Chains A and B, each alone.
Chain A
């Protein structure tokens, strides 16, 4: 038991992210890290998540994205408590009628430049409850019908590395938005 405890202190549990990894999701993340510009936004992304109707699976994967194995903090991704501090709104769905107001108000509380990521099949398409009486916008349930969406991450649910890749992509969009704002 002492050896196991010492191991848990000294062994590094974090995955190595490289373009030669056997996992295609890790390879995609490595490629995006190489492409990202040297600007403030794409290096430090603050995320506020809102669960609008998913079956807690995407939330569990988000939790694991911050765990030591994947460790999204090393790429500058932080989850923040308030939408006022956030650059990215990570919405999971399908959007339930009772959560519609909360989603809109969270989005409105965010400062520009801001962007929304729709994570999971439910948020992207309303699957599998499309047409239900309890989903927003006459049963469509898509996040993009409620707030503008910049990046969609499909998956049932998306794995932690797929979520990570989606957030890195939105970092580049935010960077572009910031430049446009400066021109004005």
Chain B
């Protein structure tokens, strides 16, 4: 591994202009490369050419307000190295990489809105988090630049220009029990020509609110990012903080975290599996899946005291134990659960009315999934391997063998099959983890390192039910957060839905949306 790493740094340096790479460093499962501002675009292209996948982009002003310069971080996942590659650069203005890397488009629009910087050559410069029709603050949240309020004409939504095409506007308040978002369908008759989504109605300013908070205060806020990813988000946040402070988590705590992650995956997937039959009118299966989900929520309550498994993860370990009586309850409930789950899965997949609606509906082309760097079950249904538990393993997952479920078709049925087999795989993992739970302490003391380095950086990730989430954290010496940035799987996958609706009929859209089942709150932060 060390040779591969050296080779990577050498190729990287060779492909750039002399003097472009200022420093390279390996710390906390990441390779940190500092490059000259003018060579940033080229550095990102070199990373992409070396089989790395674009992960996320973050910006920071190091807590300075008003900020004279900003630091941008572009993160790439390198499965070959098993590490995250961080390309960072400091400057006053930057070239947009989204002209080359399509997946970075929303990231750069978000960075523009947060800081007020203008990225040069950005293909889409419309505001993302600030809506022209709503009130907004006077200053940009990061760096404190004066905010020039966008006007309604700054947000044009264009159709395909075909004759006879008209628009259907849906949202932000929808008909069902779901979160707010705006969908603009450009339709010709019943067929969708083009779909554009508009998110960020739920923007609550989480990243800014976390600044100045200590690690204990911030966890309840992290859990509010997205309800059914509470554990995954807090685990990824804990990984980031633990890497920044070089903490080693006890083995038992790692096992308990993994149990919670897999329990979360089960109940979260059950919502999607039940939602797809609901949207085709197959209520028998939908209500049975709902019963199973309620039972899993009650198991969560018994295991952790909260139906969303909140309040257990903490930096350095976990706050409460899973003792003998709880392991007994988990094993017993899951054994019975699996039998009932398989019966209802069989019923659903042998129903011709259901299969007729889901087969070949909402096909995501594999090329589009790669282009947009989609993650989670959506990407796995297109045949792209992207499970962070396997490609960038963390904590116990480095010793576990996980069967990654893959399908090739990319339609709604494939996503159903992937999610169903992930539920069964998670049940297997929880039972194994509970059976092999090691003894020991639950947490390690959180000691702040006393070196001269003023700011501590950390990048943490975890595989949430919807895909990988990444946290970036800057901590001051006293253990307070200077800047926290987060990219959730929902943020990565929203643009994927625009690629797969073209040519489908409008009544199939709820079904496609449910099969993706992204969290709106997790996107908008």
Contacts and interface: CB of A to CB of B under 8 A. Distances in A.
Interface of A: 1, 4-5, 7-8, 13, 49-64, 66-70, 79, 81-83, 94, 96-102, 106, 122, 128-129, 131-136, 141, 156-157, 159-160
Given A4-B340, A94-B204, A101-B133, A69 B290 contact: yes
B208 A128 contact: no
Given A8-B344, A63-B177, A83-B173, 10 more contacts: A53-B202, A59-B177, A59-B227, A64-B297, A96-B204, A97-B136, A99-B201, A100-B134, A133-B137, A134-B208
30 contacts: A4-B339, A4-B340, A7-B340, A49-B177, A53-B204, A54-B521, A56-B179, A56-B227, A56-B520, A56-B521, A57-B228, A60-B271, A63-B290, A64-B290, A67-B294, A70-B294, A97-B134, A98-B134, A99-B201, A99-B202, A101-B133, A102-B201, A106-B173, A122-B224, A129-B209, A132-B206, A133-B137, A134-B203, A134-B208, A141-B204
Contacts of B347: 5, 8
Q: 4 smallest A-B Cβ distances: which pairs? A: A57-B227, A4-B343, A134-B205, A67-B290
Contact of A81 (B175, B226, B339): B175
Contacts of B126: none
Contacts of B524: 96
B287 interface: yes
A102 B135 contact: no
Contacts of B394: none
A135 B205 contact: yes
A56 B200 contact: no
B216 interface: no
B447 interface: no
B180 A102 contact: yes
A92 B444 CA distance: 37
A64 B340 contact: no
A102 B227 CA distance: 22
B291 interface: yes
Nearest to B342: A1
B225 A8 contact: no
Contact of A102 (B129, B172, B521): B172
Contacts of B208: 132-134
B287 A67 contact: yes
B308 A157 contact: yes
B310 A156 contact: yes
Contacts of A50: 173, 180
B201 A96 contact: yes
B135 A100 contact: yes
Given A55-B227, A69-B290, A129-B205, A98 B519 contact: no
Contacts of B173: 50, 83, 102, 106
Contacts of A94: 204
Contact of A128 (B172, B200, B220): B220
A15 B220 CA distance: 31
Given A56-B227, A156-B310, A13 B204 contact: no
Contacts of A160: 294
A98 B520 contact: no
B157 interface: no
B110 interface: no
Given A4-B339, A56-B520, A98 B202 contact: yes
B28 interface: no
A8 B343 contact: yes
B137 A81 contact: no
B204 A69 contact: no
B178 interface: yes
B221 interface: yes
Contacts of B340: 4, 7-8
B118 interface: no
B266 to A, nearest CB: 14
A53 to B, nearest CB: 5
A61 B209 CA distance: 26
Nearest to A130: B209
A99 B179 CA distance: 11
B293 interface: yes
Nearest to B131: A98
A53 B135 CA distance: 15
B175 to A, nearest CB: 4
Interface in B157-196: 172-173, 175-180
A97 B203 contact: yes
A102 B181 CA distance: 11
A57 to B, nearest CB: 3
A56 B133 CA distance: 24
Contacts of A56: 179, 226-228, 519-522
Contacts of B290: 63-64, 67-69
Given A101-B134, A156-B310, A129 B519 contact: no
B36 interface: no
A5 B342 CA distance: 10
B365 interface: no
A4 B293 CA distance: 17
B290 to A, nearest CB: 4
Contacts of B520: 51, 56
B357 interface: no
A129 B135 contact: no
A165 B8 CA distance: 61
A129 B178 CA distance: 21
B342 to A, nearest CB: 7
B58 to A, nearest CB: 18
Most B CB contacts (10 A, CB to CB) among A5, A8, A68, A83 go to A8
Contacts of B205: 129, 132-135
A5 B200 CA distance: 42
Contacts of B129: 134
B307 interface: yes
B473 to A, nearest CB: 18
B334 to A, nearest CB: 15
Interface in B282-302: 287-288, 290-291, 293-295, 297
Most A CB contacts (10 A, CB to CB) among B177, B203, B306, B347 go to B177
A68 B291 contact: yes
B324 interface: no
A131 B134 contact: no
A129 B294 contact: no
B78 to A, nearest CB: 31
Contacts of B306: 156
